């Protein structure tokens, strides 16, 4: 039978035809909370992945709901750039009571951008990856939910495309906080200078990318969206036990957002 479950941090397992056995769990030094990468939830993982007992899709939808609480806007419809931010966009739309409408569709017939024969076609590359469903948004105020804006150069041609196709307003809402710091834990984040959050343009980001407004999810909003159901499950498990046991600390690495690293850095 197919058997799926997470291997816990520090756990050594033996997998055989019959079962999965835990051979040992290496204790965490000084009882420090774990530091699971929070960007797995935001961006890297497949939406059907399960981490810490929760589905990534559900966390992304909660991030969208939290974003709607933090950054509502007067608009007619909510959409996204297909399709990694769809769960967040659905959560945002549901919380705002606005319709979720597709404004772009992926163009499956476009070749690789860099092999286009001339510069004009290469510049059109990003826009041409998408077909415009202009009937769905002509004359309307659109909120586009993105999962992250790292450098800021991918979203600009998309906003331009929507405006040229009849969008009245284009508001950008980002379902994660701005990345400001490098990751030393194995994720290849661009250099500090390349990150839009560290550039002078960030102070007027809406103008720089051509949007009517841009708001990112707060760090607290992301952490609460990720930890809410973990905490509820821990409390539920503890209430089922007869003896009162302490709820374990929940930890996530948010170093790329705050600069606070989970381990001492040595150079």
DSSP labels, 42-110 = IIIS-TT-EETTEEHHHHHHHHHHHHHHHS----SEEEESTTTTHHHHHHHHHHHT--B---EEE-TT-
Count of structural domains within the chain:
1
Domain of 88 in residue numbering reads as 54-220
Q: What is the dihedral of CA 241, 242, 244, 250, to 10 degrees?
A: 0
Q: Is residue 14 assigned to a domain?
A: no
Q: Is residue 47 assigned to a domain?
A: no
Collapse the DSSP code of 217 into the 3-class scheme (helix H, G, I; strand E, B; otherwise coil) and give the result: coil
Round to whole Å and give the CA distance between 168 and 44.
32
Q: Is residue 208 assigned to a domain?
A: yes
Q: Is residue 10 assigned to a domain?
A: no
Q: Is residue 19 assigned to a domain?
A: no
CATH of the domain at 69: 3.40.50.2020
Q: Is residue 254 assigned to a domain?
A: no
Q: What is the pLDDT along the chain (267 residues), one digit of tens a residue?
A: 566 788 888 899 999 998 999 999 998 877 788 899 999 999 999 999 999 999 999 999 999 999 999 999 999 999 999 999 999 999 999 999 999 999 999 987 765 555 555 655 555 666 678 999 999 999 999 999 999 999 998 899 999 999 999 999 999 999 999 999 999 988 888 899 999 999 999 999 999 999 999 999 999 999 999 999 999 988 888 877 654 444 457 799 999 999 999 988 887
Q: Is residue 138 assigned to a domain?
A: yes
Q: Is residue 102 assigned to a domain?
A: yes
Round to whole Å and give the CA distance between 95 and 64.
8
């Amino acid at each position: 039978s197919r058997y799926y479950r997470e291997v816990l941090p520090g756990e050594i397992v033996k997998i055989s035809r019959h079962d999965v056995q835990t051979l040992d769990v290496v204790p965490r030094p000084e009882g420090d909370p774990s530091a699971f990468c929070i960007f797995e939830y935001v961006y890297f993982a497949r939406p059907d992945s399960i981490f810490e007992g929760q589905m990534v899709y559900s966390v992304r939808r909660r991030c969208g709901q939290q974003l709607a609480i933090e950054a509502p806007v007067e608009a007619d419809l909510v959409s996204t750039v297909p399709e990694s931010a769809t769960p967040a966009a659905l959560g945002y739309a549901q919380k705002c009571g606005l319709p979720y409408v597709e404004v772009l569709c992926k163009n499956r017939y476009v070749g690789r951008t860099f092999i286009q024969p001339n510069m004009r076609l290469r510049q059109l590359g990003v826009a041409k990856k998408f077909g415009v469903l202009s009937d769905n948004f002509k004359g309307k105020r659109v909120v586009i939910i993105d999962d992250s804006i790292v450098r800021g150069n991918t979203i600009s041609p998309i906003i331009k495309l929507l405006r040229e196709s009849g969008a009245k307003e284009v508001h950008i809402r980002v379902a994660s906080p701005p990345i400001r710091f490098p990751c030393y834990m194995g994720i290849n984040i661009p250099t500090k200078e390349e990150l839009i959050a560290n550039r002078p343009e960030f102070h007027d980001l809406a103008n720089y990318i051509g949007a009517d407004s841009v708001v990112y999810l707060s760090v607290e909003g992301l952490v609460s969206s990720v930890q809410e159901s973990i905490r509820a499950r821990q409390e539920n498990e503890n209430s089922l036990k007869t003896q009162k046991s302490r709820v374990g600390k929940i930890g996530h690495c948010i170093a790329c957002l705050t600069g606070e690293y989970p381990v001492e850095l040595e150079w």
